Structure 1
C-alpha cells in the first residue's frame, strides 16, 4: 500500500513541476515583445530519496530555481555604447540644426548676400548719379544685416533648445534614480526571503540601460542583489547616485534656469562679475517652492561653463552641494564679502556662495555631455558671426565716414553706414554683434545720404568712395583677431591710412588676414566637416550598438520557436505524470475493491 502511495506522490510532484515549467514558458511567451524582458528558465532537481532495501528509492522532482538568462558583460558593453551613442546623437542633432540655420552657400545665404552688397557698391561707383543705385545699396545691405540678425536669433534658439533638453533630462534622471533605489530595496527583500525577483531585476536593468544613454554609469554588485550606482564625473570622479544600503548620502541633480547680472541697491546692473544664479531642486520647475537663487561672482570661463552645463550636483533633497559634498547654505563664503542675505540650510530664497563653491556636473559621455559640449560650438559660431558683423561694420564705416575711429561729429559730416540697433551711436559701434547690426536708419529713410565720392563737393559722377568700399570684398582683414571689446581703431590698426570725411580713407590687406567672404566660407566649411563627422559617428555607433543588442537578444531574448518546443515537451511530461496517477488509482481500486470479493 505504502509503495503505491509513494508512487502517487511522485506523479503529483511531477505534474506540479511540469505545471511550473509551463507557467514559466507561458510567461516568456507573453513577454516576447516586452522591452527589457529577459527569458526565464526552470531548473529542476530530484527530491530527497527514501531509504529502502536494497537502496535509496527516488521520490520525484521539484523546481529548484527559476532563473533569468542574462549576460552581465554584454550589459556592460551595451551601456558603454549607449553613452557614446547618446553623446554623438546629441551632437549630430544640434549641429544639423546649426547647419540649417546658416543656410550654407544658397541663394538666400549670407555668402550670396555679401557678394550682392559689394556688387551693389560697385554698381553705385559707376552710376553715382542714379538714385536707384543708392537705394539698391541700402536695401541689399539691410537684407544682409537682417539675415545676420536672423541667424544670430536662431542660433540662440538652438542653444535654448539644448538647455530645454538638459532640463528635461535632469527631471527624467532624478526620477529613474528614485525608481532604481526603490527597486534595489524590493530586490533585496525578495532575495533575503530566498526567492528570485526576476521581473524586478529586469525593471532595474531596463532603467539602468536608459540611464546609460544620459551619462556614463558604473555599477558595483552587492549582497542580496543590491547595487551601488555611480556616475562618472570628469571633474571630481565618481558620484554615488544609488546605494544598496538605503541612505540619504547619495547625490541628485538640479537645473540652473537662469544666470543674470546682479543689481545693486539702486537697481543698477553690477559689472563686477556678480550674478544671481537660480536653480530648481531636482529640476522640478512646477513650483516656486523648488526655486533657489544663489548670488555669486563668476569669471568669464566659470560663467561659460555654468551657462553651457546647467546641471548642479545636489543632495537627495535637491540642494546644491560644494565639492566636499556639503550643502551650500550661505554661512561660509570663500574670498570677498558675503553678498545678500544669509539664510539657514534647507530654506528657500537667496544663498550666497563663492563662484567656485558649487559642483557642476561634468559627464564624460552620454546625451547630457553631447548637449552640453555642443553649446560650446554654438557659442563659437555666434562669436565668429559677431566678428563677421563687426568687420563689415568697421571697414565700411571707416571708408564711408573717412575716419578710422568711430564718431558722432555731425560738424564734420561723419555718417556711419552700419550701426548698433540697440545703441545707434559711435559708442555703440564697439558693441555691434550679428544680433544687432543694422543699416543707419537715416540712410534707410534717405539713401541720398550715402557718400559716394570724395572732396568737399563731390561731382555727380564721382564714385571713388563707393569703389573703395566695393574693393573691400578682396581686402584681407584681421577678422579672426576681433574680440568683444574691439573698437574700429583696434581693428584697423596697421592697415589703414587716416583721412577725414572729405577725403578717401583706404584699407590695405593684412598679411595674416582673411576676406569677408572667405571668413564666412571657412565658418560654413568647418561646420560642414563637424556635421559630417557627427553623422558618421552616429552611423558607426548605430551599427556597433545594433550588433551588441543582437548578441544580447540572442541570449536574453525570447524565441517563440524555442518556447513552443519547450511547451510541447512539458505538456507531454505533464500528461505522462497524469497517466502515472491514473494507473496508481486503478491499482488502488483493484486492491481495495478486490478484497471485498
Structure 2
C-alpha cells in the first residue's frame, strides 16, 4: 500500500543501498595498491514494485516503485586477458630461467679476457715457438711447462665451475618444487572456500582475487590449463600431462590431486644399478620424507633423470606411475613419471642443465684434442699404450695416465713440472740422444696451432689411438721437412683455438637469444598488464567521483526521510488543533 510510511521505507532502502555502495567504494580505495586486487562494483536494481497485477488490483494508474536494493557486488575482471598474461608468463619464465644461468656460464667461460682459455691457448703455442728458438734453454722449457699448467688449471676451474653451476640449477629446481607444492595447497584451499561461499549465495570476490594472483604466480613456473567448474570452482592442470592419466593439480571437487617430488641423488652401485633418492614434495627438512628406489638406468635414462629431477607424486608426495599407483622398490625407469613442462621457469632450469652438459662435453673434447695431439707429437706415437723414452706431456691427474682425460682432470706430467729438461725438443724419441740445439720437435708442436683436428668427433670413450688410427680424418705421419711424426689436418676439422671460439660464440648466441625473448615478452606483458589494470585496476579519480555521487544520493534520501517526518508530524499532531 502507498502512503507516507511507504515513502519512508523507499527512502530507508535508498539510504541503505547508497551506504553499501559507499562501503564498496571505500574497499576499492583501501586496496588501490593491493597486488592482484580487482575493483568491485555494487550493482543496484529496483525492488519489487507495489501494485502487481492480481484479483484485487486489476486496474490502476500504474505500479508504484518501492525503492532500490544492491543485487550483487561483483569484481571487474577480463578472463581473456588473464589467459593471455598467464600464457606470456610461461614463455617469459622459461627464458628468464635460461638467461639467468646462461649469463653465469658466460661469466665462467671468462671470454674474452687475458686469463681465459683462448688467450692461454695462444700463450702455450707461443711458448713452444720460443722454445724452438732456444731449445737448450731451461728457462724456455720452464715457460712451456708453466704456460701449459696455467691452461690446464683454467680448464680444470672452468669444468668445476660448470658442474657447480649445474648443482646450483638443481637447487633452484628443488626450491621451485617446494614453492609450487605450497602454491597448489593454497589454491586447493581457496578453491574450496570460493565454492562454499558461492553455495551460500554470496560473491567471494576477495578470495577469487587471491586465487587468481596465485595462479598468475604459478603460470611463471610452468604452463597451466584452467577448467572453469560450477559455483566458481576451477580445475588446474599442466599444459603437458607427461603421460599421466590424471594430471589434475587443483580440483574443484576435492578429488584425487597430484603434487611433485624432487630427486636429490642418483648413485651408482657396484652391481651397476642405481639408488634413486627423492624427497616427498621436495621437503628435505626431515629424513621422514626421504625415499630410495633401486633401478637400472641406461645412459640416456640417467641423463633424463639427472636433468629433470622432478617426479609426479600423489598428494602425500609419494612418486607414482602413470595410473596413479605408488611406485614400489625396486622399480624401472618406465615406472617413473618425470615432470617435463614445456614452458615456465622449470623448463628453463631443466633445459639449461642440458646446455651445461653439452659445454662440459665440448670442453672435454677440447682437453682431449690438446692432449692427444701434443702427446702424440711429443712422444712420436699415435698410441698412448706404446712405451717410449719420452714422457707424455699431458696426463689424467687422477690416474697418472692419458686414459679418460677430461677438462676436469687434465694436468701436466709431474715429471715435466719437476724437471722441464725432460721436454723433448729434438728429432730422436730418446731426448738424451738429441743433438744440442735440436728444435725440430718443438717446431712441430708449435705448428699444431694451425692443424685442423676433428675434435667434434671426440666423445667420452675416444682414445688417442682411436683418434689417430689412420682411418679417421687425422693421423700421425712423418713430416719430411722436420723429420718427426706430426699430425695431418682434417678437411672438416678445426684448430683448437677456433673450436673453443666456436663454443664461446654458440654460448653468446644462446644468451642473446634468451635476453631478446625476455625483453620482448616483458614489453608484451607490460602492455597486457596495462590493459588488465585499465579494466580491473582501481582508479582513485573514478572512485572519488562515485563517492561524491553516492554521498549526494544518501543525503537526498535522508532529506526525504526528514520531509516525511515533518508530514507525519502535521498529520498526527496537527489533528489536535
TM-score, normalization by structure 1: 0.91
User: Residue 198 of structure 1 is aligned with which of 197, 205, 210?
Assistant: 205
* Structure 2 spans left out of the alignment, 5+ residues: 52-56
Contact 2:477–2:488 (Cα < 8 Å) also in 1 = no
Q: Which of 218, 221, 226 lines up with 1:219 in the alignment?
A: 226
Residue 442 of structure 2 aligns with which residue?
Answer: 466
**Residue aligning to 2:364:** 386
Given that 2:468 and 2:476 are in contact with CA atoms closer than 8 Å, whether structure 1 keeps it comes out as no
The equivalent residue for 2:54 is none
CA contact (8 A) 1:430 1:485 kept: no
1:242 matches 2:215: no
The aligned residue for residue 476 of structure 2 is: 497
C-alpha contact 1:404 1:498 (8 A) present in aligned 2: no
Compute the displacement of 1:414 (Å): 3.6
Q: Which digits, 9 at most, give the CA deviation of each residue in 1:534-580, with x for residues without a partner? A: 11111111111111111111111111111111011001101111111
1:440-495 Cα shifts (integer Å, max 9, x gaps): 11111221111111224112201111111111100111101111011110111223
Equivalence for 2:416: 443
Once residues 278 and 320 of structure 1 are traced to their aligned partners in structure 2, the CA distance between those partners, rounded to angstroms, is: 11
Q: Once the two structures are superposed, what CA deviation does each residue of 1:206-232 show, in whole Å capped at 9, x if it has no partner?
A: 111111111111111111111111112
Q: Which residue of 2 aligns with 1:542?
A: 522
- The offset of 1:498, in angstroms, is 6.4
Displacement of 1:319 after TM fit?
A: 0.6
Map 1:6-45 → 2, pairs under 5 A: 6-45=6-45
Q: What displacement does 1:235 show? A: 3.5
- Supply the distance in 1 between the matched residues of 2:377 and 2:439 (Cα, whole angstroms): 13
Mapped pair 1:114 → 2:113: no
- Whole-angstrom CA distance in 1 between matches of 2:189 and 2:299: 41
CA distance in structure 1 between the aligned counterparts of 2:419 and 2:566, rounded to whole angstroms: 115
Query: Aligned equivalents of 1:408 and 1:152: distance in 2?
Result: 29
CA distance in structure 2 between the partners assigned to 1:77 and 1:92 by the alignment: 22
- The residue that corresponds to 1:79 in the other structure is 86
Secondary structure of 2:318 counterpart = coil
Distance 1:459 1:35 in 2: 82
**Matched residue SS, 1:233:** coil
Q: Which stretches in structure 1 are left out of the alignment for 5+ residues?
A: 263-268, 330-350
- Answering whether residue 238 of structure 2 is matched by residue 231 of structure 1, we say yes
Counting matched residue pairs gives 560
State whether residues 452 and 494 of structure 2, in contact with CA within 8 Å, keep that contact through their aligned partners in structure 1. Answer: yes
Asked if 1:375 is matched to 2:353, the reply is yes
Q: Distance in 2 between matches of 1:386 and 1:281?
A: 36
Tell me, yes or no, if the aligned pair for 2:25 and 2:546 is still in contact at 8 Å. yes
Pairing 1:315-334 to 2, within 5 Å after superposition? 315-329=314-328
Counterparts of residues 225-304 of structure 1 (less than 5 Å) = 225-233=232-240, 235-236=242-243, 239-247=247-255, 249-262=256-269, 269-270=270-271, 272=272, 274-304=273-303
Are 1:65 and 2:45 counterparts? no
In the alignment, is residue 596 of structure 1 matched against residue 537 of structure 2?
Answer: no
Contact kept in structure 2, 1:407 and 1:414, CA below 8 Å: no
Distance 2:147 2:241 in 1: 48
Give the alignment's TM-score, normalised by structure 2. 0.95
Q: Conserved in 1, the CA contact under 8 Å of 2:149 and 2:411? A: yes
Query: Are 2:558 and 1:578 equivalent residues in the alignment?
Result: yes
CA RMSD of aligned residues (A): 1.6
Say yes or no: does 1:453 pair with 2:432.
no
| Contact 2:279–2:291 (8 Å) recurs in 1 | yes
| Aligned match of 1:136 | 143
Worse-superposed segment, 3-12 or 132-141: 3-12
Q: Structure 1 residue runs of 4+, over 6 Å off?
A: none
Cα distance between partner residues in 2 of 1:493 and 1:443: 27
SS in 2 for 1:595: helix
Judge conservation of contact 2:379–2:392 (CA < 8 Å) in 1. Answer: yes
Match of 1:516 in 2: 496
What CA distance in whole angstroms lies between the structure 1 residues aligned with 2:248 and 2:279? Answer: 21
**Any idea what SS the aligned residue of 2:278 has?**
strand
Match of 1:186 among 176, 179, 193: 193
1:431 equivalent to 2:407? Answer no
Question: For the Cα contact (< 8 Å) 1:6–1:59, is it kept in 2?
Answer: yes
Within the candidate set 428, 442, 464, 1:488 is matched to 464
Residues 365, 406 of structure 2: 8 Å contact kept: yes
8 Å CA contact 1:408–1:414 kept in 2: the answer is no
Q: Deviations over 1:504-562 (max 9, x none)?
A: 32111122211100100111111111111111111111111111111111111111111
SS at match of 1:358: coil
Please give the alpha-carbon distance, in whole angstroms, between the structure 2 residues aligned to 1:85 and 1:147. Answer: 34
Using the alignment, how far apart are the partners of 2:369 and 2:242 within structure 1?
38
For 1:370 and 1:191, locate their aligned partners in 2 and report how far apart those are by CA, in whole Å.
Answer: 38
The equivalent of 1:364 in structure 2 is 342
Q: Deviations over 1:279-307 (max 9, x none)?
A: 00000000000000111111111111111
CA offsets per residue over residues 346-372 of structure 1, 9 Å max, x none?
A: xxxxx2101211000111111101111
Corresponding position of 2:543: 563
Counterpart in 2 of 1:332?
none
Range 437-446 or range 170-179, more displaced: 437-446
1:523 and 1:48 map into 2 onto residues whose CA distance is 78
SS of equivalent to 2:277: strand
Distance in 1 between the 2:569 and 2:39 partners? 44
Change (3 A) 1:34 1:181: same
Q: Secondary structure at the match of 1:76?
A: helix
Contact residue 390 and residue 424 of structure 2 kept, 8 A: no
Deviations 1:174-209 (A, max 9, x none): 111111111111111110110000000001111111
